[in-house]
Structure 1
């Protein structure tokens, strides 16, 4: 089972995986752990990530970025209409009313935001599979804490289109708190006062703050606040506007009229912003051939930049104050303030946050990778494949959620707040209604002012199959509402409660009709996002699959073309280098001409051919080039092969010579077998000398007289025939048992009369014999 966390950022993405050694942020094919959130569409295929970002200037109309903020939004949304004018690429309305992205492949095409996000997720999935060497399905994906129900559902659909099973949509700030807390060994015990830490996440397009209470083995998010209109992108916008105005006055250029020039300016302004975070001196901005072949230049320093961004910097304190008020905390209650996110590196922002809390900021977490690592940790906790330290996570509901319905008793609309702001999540509640007929519940956010979304409606839930009691009275209906792990609101179930009549004197008994398999079904119609309907995801999955296949075929076609080009350049160099001696002058000239013709063909008629055409063209070239290359390889390997055979022959000749001189090591060998070995060794030597003579007379431009494979086969044949004979072990000689019994009495009895007994021999052998024969006489030795 895969354990993967995806930080799906506005500008860049990170992938973290759980391994035996812990959590690791993995690199993509460019050896970079950061994958840009870019998707570029070409005539035949797509480029995603770093490859797409490199096309942002050359193919600006078909390279999309920053699309995460359009999730779950209708095309008529004021936010979309406002953002549309600032984009280089085009947005369009989908048939369902949602926002789509218009690009040109072979023809003009509109993709939904879910499809484009799915393309990016597919790329991240491939990166994870490449690192883990196994398929990836289960994952945890991050979303901003301020995402509404509709936006969250849209991200889940995108994951499904990408073939991922999202175990949890995790709020970015919650992922950061988990990455921070799970490794801490010094947290207070569960019964003690918790440690309170504030987390500030300022990314490319959003500003989020959360305050969290830590105890050993658990974390509880107390409150969250945010500003979805404050991020690194907004600082870039101010710089771009400044230089557009400056270049307009200085060079009379209308930068905003040229999308390509605007994209280049954004890139340079982003670099300048990063440089200003490290330097307070005047810094230059230079762009060559910017517009109409004009080189432009400008300068800016940190002080001027902060002055220009005063309005944005003033917005930093709002969420900080809000989160403290919601959690009812004082500044002295805060243990630490941890900052993450790329834009948190801007000195003026750090200064304001530090000043607000009156303490030094903590940067113990990796500002870029903390979210992905937290997601991977959550996935490991949810996975049975890993054993993770017990750690419970309690998140919060970012906006208050209410239900409204038509009330039969009050003859009008009734409503009820089911989940107040900062209520614990995930969480379920059961509501009881008395009804005779089916009825509907409408879920909505009851404080539209703090919602970064035009419609407060979440969805309408129809409770079906409701019938009156047998007596005609209203039935009791229990409705279970839930905020799930994704932060999505739903009516999870509904059931009728039947009153069962009992014998006199006993209380009436309630039974849940669901137990009798008459469970009431709940139909859900999402009025907040009408385009999410049955078949939507399946249809998009099929389209996504086709595009992945098209990309794969295009990659194979390009690889086949590159193989031809590579072979042409490689062989052209080698024909006048290492292969020069192995080809005749006439053949070399003919082959060189063929290579030159192929190179010209590649850049003319062969520029855009089918994969098989390139494969055939390579085979045609190799038909001429392979024999030359083989002659070269034979000449390189042949001396080694002859040397190996010569060593074998010499070794066996020495053994035969030793046998003939009655060497003790080989005297046990069979004479007939040794004679046979002698003959085979002589034959091998004659064969080798003959082939070496033939080869020495052969011209290098001709095929060799003997191939390396033949020599290796001869070596193997000689080894197989001779080695079993010469390596035969000596037979083991065991002294016969009869000798011991005969020697016993000689030494024991007769030896005392007929011959003197050696004291040394008695000492050495007597011990062994005394144990074998107890009747041996004792001897006194002086």
Structure 2
């Protein structure tokens, strides 16, 4: 049984959660951290993903890819690329399909990967992390993504999950997942006829800022409005601090640290740590050893200085809030609670700016880092056929209206607005068309002018075949079930033709009807399904051939990573054996080997050590195993003698302990037997004394009697 898995796919760190043990648990990674760096690095032989990638990022800066969620399905000509490029150290390239990809060196080869492939590599890593931690198989996953992800980006992340061997049961907006977490775990929500609680959920993470207005009642929540600033997050604060110190470094040493990617990356990391320190302190030191050209750099920053540096950013706090409230058709006074999540909301000046917009204190009762992942895990559990979860209904909203058209795209005819802006999803609509044969359908955003430049107006198209006309019909009714599914993807779920079937039903005769009266009938017209139609979808999803090719490539890289890990394990095993056997040969095993055996084995150990640190550094798993077996063949003879002697000692000790126990048991039995005999003898004497006493008294009485006589 697959364990339900929820993933908060963060830009800097991702959080993993699973539904188990009648609750939601956060999954720790291999170093026991509750979040995993969203990083994929490439080395000479293998990849470094997650914690390993983070550890090697500075030394492997050009071959390490982060910020991957920002470039998924991004056109190379998109205006956003200029903004995103500032945060990338790996090379971004234009792929054959016009999308942004990354170029890295894998071993001696330069390779290009799509953002979907990079995301799949990371998803494969976290899948393995969950399986190792839970000791359970994982297939179903609910992935939380930014609210600004369009249909193409949602398909791309779903494809990445499939490449990693996962089944994406739902792609959910991050703040919507947080809303589910709020609604499920809060115990004081209104119910029945009580007024719903209106909550402004604000999420400011590493790279984006989202505000959703959500209505809550017990067992249900409904998103009323969502707005965002996709280029406002913690990384902007980090770079503001880093650029401040870069200017200071330039003024002091006349060196431009921005021209050195490794040095500037270290500066950004230090800036992020400083930002966290200043969230709890009024001033903090700033120190980096050997940051560039063997120069150490020291400075300090106060919280007031930080507030001045980020003042331009704070002016952008208000817009997403007012836009979300406007979309919800509410006023700021209607907001009951302001709940903040995301690591960046811990910055005091930012928290105060949000509080000032609402003119009320903000709340942080949810876990700011983990609530999205927990909500996603609960949503995944809802989709599980084997688990029962607490009933909870939630709805999201369409950011744009969507129209469907048929035969050909005409602006003012042959199209129908099916899903209106701000309407809820998931939702299903049934439409009827009169068709004369096979036809095509398409879906598009209704109002192009509302769309960001990066969002395409066309969403998907479908070829629908199998329309059969009756001989006497010029057209036939085709019914199409149009759906915006739980992931916000627009699909045609079902298509079929119907026909009118006329049947005759006998009308019961009145009681006074003549015996030979002719029966009368009435016609009943029924609409019945005639034929199921075949639907061939053309969406943003990868075609099967490309999906298979990417999956094979991922499996190949995974196998290589596994081989490298196993090879390193065997190398470490050999190294450990060399040093362990050498030490034991002079101590524990000393009396169990002849001088000749010691000399031969020591020579072998020295030769193996020289080989290991010379040509053995770049060899195969099989060679390490062969070298280990060669040493073990000699060493195990001596080890067996030692173990035999140890076993002999152990058996002797066990025999002594057994004899001691038997002797103790015998002594205890003898003591018990003696005590029983003593007790029996005492009882017998007591009985004899008891019967003699009256006789003595009688004798005494007799004596008295005699004396009296």
TM bucket (normalised to shorter chain) is 0.7 to 0.9
Matches within 5 A, 1:301-312: 301-312=302-313
Return the offset for 1:392.
1.1
Which whole-Å deviations, capped at 9, do the CAs of 1:374-413 have from their partners, x for residues lacking one? 11111222223332221111122233223345679x9965
Structure 2 distance, partners of 1:141, 1:15, is 10
- Whether the 8 Å CA contact 2:227–2:321 is kept in 1: the answer is yes
Cα separation, partners in 2 of 1:506 and 1:476, compared to 1, 3 Å: farther
Match of 2:118 in 1: 116
- Whether the 8 Å CA contact 1:497–1:510 is kept in 2: the answer is no
- Whether the 8 Å CA contact 2:147–2:174 is kept in 1: the answer is yes
Cα separation, partners in 2 of 1:292 and 1:449, compared to 1, 3 Å: farther
Return the offset for 1:472.
6.3
Structure 1 distance, partners of 2:226, 2:668, is 91
Q: Considering Cα pairs closer than 8 Å and 6+ residues apart, tell me whether 1 or 2 has the greater RCO.
A: 2
Match of 1:754 in 2: none
Cα separation, partners in 2 of 1:310 and 1:494, compared to 1, 3 Å: same
Match of 2:650 in 1: 640
Match of 1:738 in 2: none
Cα separation, partners in 2 of 1:655 and 1:471, compared to 1, 3 Å: closer
Return the offset for 1:169.
1.2
Structure 1 distance, partners of 2:192, 2:411, is 49
Cα separation, partners in 2 of 1:638 and 1:165, compared to 1, 3 Å: same
- Whether the 8 Å CA contact 2:6–2:17 is kept in 1: the answer is yes
Compare the two structures and name the one with the higher strand fraction.
Answer: 2
Mapped pair 1:524 → 2:525 = no
| 2:385 match: secondary structure | coil
Return the offset for 1:461.
3.0
Return the offset for 1:556.
1.0
Structure 1 distance, partners of 2:480, 2:654, is 85
- Whether the 8 Å CA contact 1:403–1:442 is kept in 2: the answer is yes
Cα separation, partners in 2 of 1:244 and 1:649, compared to 1, 3 Å: closer
The one of 139, 142, 163 aligned to 2:141: 139
The one of 236, 239, 249 aligned to 1:237: 239
- Whether the 8 Å CA contact 1:77–1:454 is kept in 2: the answer is no
Match of 1:125 in 2: 127
Cα separation, partners in 2 of 1:653 and 1:265, compared to 1, 3 Å: closer
Match of 1:50 in 2: 51
Cα separation, partners in 2 of 1:634 and 1:500, compared to 1, 3 Å: closer
Which whole-Å deviations, capped at 9, do the CAs of 1:724-753 have from their partners, x for residues lacking one? xxxxxxxxxxxxxxxxxxxxxxxxxxxxxx
Mapped pair 1:4 → 2:5 = yes
| 2:532 match: secondary structure | coil
| 2:93 match: secondary structure | strand
CA RMSD of aligned residues (A): 3.1
Cα separation, partners in 2 of 1:617 and 1:306, compared to 1, 3 Å: same
- Whether the 8 Å CA contact 1:16–1:24 is kept in 2: the answer is yes
Mapped pair 1:550 → 2:560 = yes
The one of 152, 155, 159 aligned to 1:153: 155
Mapped pair 1:537 → 2:547 = yes
Matches within 5 A, 1:620-659: 620-648=630-658
Cα separation, partners in 2 of 1:593 and 1:336, compared to 1, 3 Å: same
| 1:278 match: secondary structure | coil
- Whether the 8 Å CA contact 1:197–1:212 is kept in 2: the answer is yes
Which whole-Å deviations, capped at 9, do the CAs of 1:571-623 have from their partners, x for residues lacking one? 33444544455555665455444433322222211101111111121122223
Return the offset for 1:500.
5.0
Mapped pair 1:267 → 2:283 = no
Cα separation, partners in 2 of 1:417 and 1:243, compared to 1, 3 Å: farther
- Whether the 8 Å CA contact 1:146–1:398 is kept in 2: the answer is no
Return the offset for 1:129.
1.0
Structure 2 unaligned spans of 5+: 505-519, 676-709
- Whether the 8 Å CA contact 1:426–1:485 is kept in 2: the answer is yes
Matches within 5 A, 1:762-781: none
Structure 2 distance, partners of 1:276, 1:654, is 71
Mapped pair 1:428 → 2:437 = no
Size of the aligned set, in residue pairs, is: 657
- Whether the 8 Å CA contact 2:402–2:418 is kept in 1: the answer is yes
Question: Which has the higher mean CA deviation after the structures are superposed, 13-22 or 222-231?
Answer: 13-22
What TM-score does the superposition give when structure 2 sets the normalisation length? 0.85
Matches within 5 A, 1:718-757: none
| 1:541 match: secondary structure | helix
Matches within 5 A, 1:32-431: 32-80=33-81, 82-84=83-85, 86-106=87-107, 107-281=109-283, 283-405=284-406, 413-431=413-431
Structure 1 unaligned spans of 5+: 666-782
- Whether the 8 Å CA contact 1:469–1:498 is kept in 2: the answer is no
Cα separation, partners in 2 of 1:562 and 1:475, compared to 1, 3 Å: same
Cα separation, partners in 2 of 1:417 and 1:305, compared to 1, 3 Å: farther
Structure number with bigger Rg: 1
- Whether the 8 Å CA contact 1:72–1:154 is kept in 2: the answer is yes
- Whether the 8 Å CA contact 2:175–2:372 is kept in 1: the answer is yes
Cα separation, partners in 2 of 1:656 and 1:303, compared to 1, 3 Å: closer
Which whole-Å deviations, capped at 9, do the CAs of 1:193-232 have from their partners, x for residues lacking one? 2111111111111111111111122111111111111111
Structure 2 distance, partners of 1:20, 1:658, is 51
Cα separation, partners in 2 of 1:128 and 1:624, compared to 1, 3 Å: same
Cα separation, partners in 2 of 1:306 and 1:502, compared to 1, 3 Å: same
Which whole-Å deviations, capped at 9, do the CAs of 1:446-485 have from their partners, x for residues lacking one? 2544537242321233444557775564543333221101
- Whether the 8 Å CA contact 2:289–2:295 is kept in 1: the answer is yes
| 2:279 match: secondary structure | helix
Structure 2 distance, partners of 1:131, 1:66, is 26
Return the offset for 1:68.
0.9
Structure 1 distance, partners of 2:235, 2:522, is 70
Structure 2 distance, partners of 1:238, 1:506, is 82
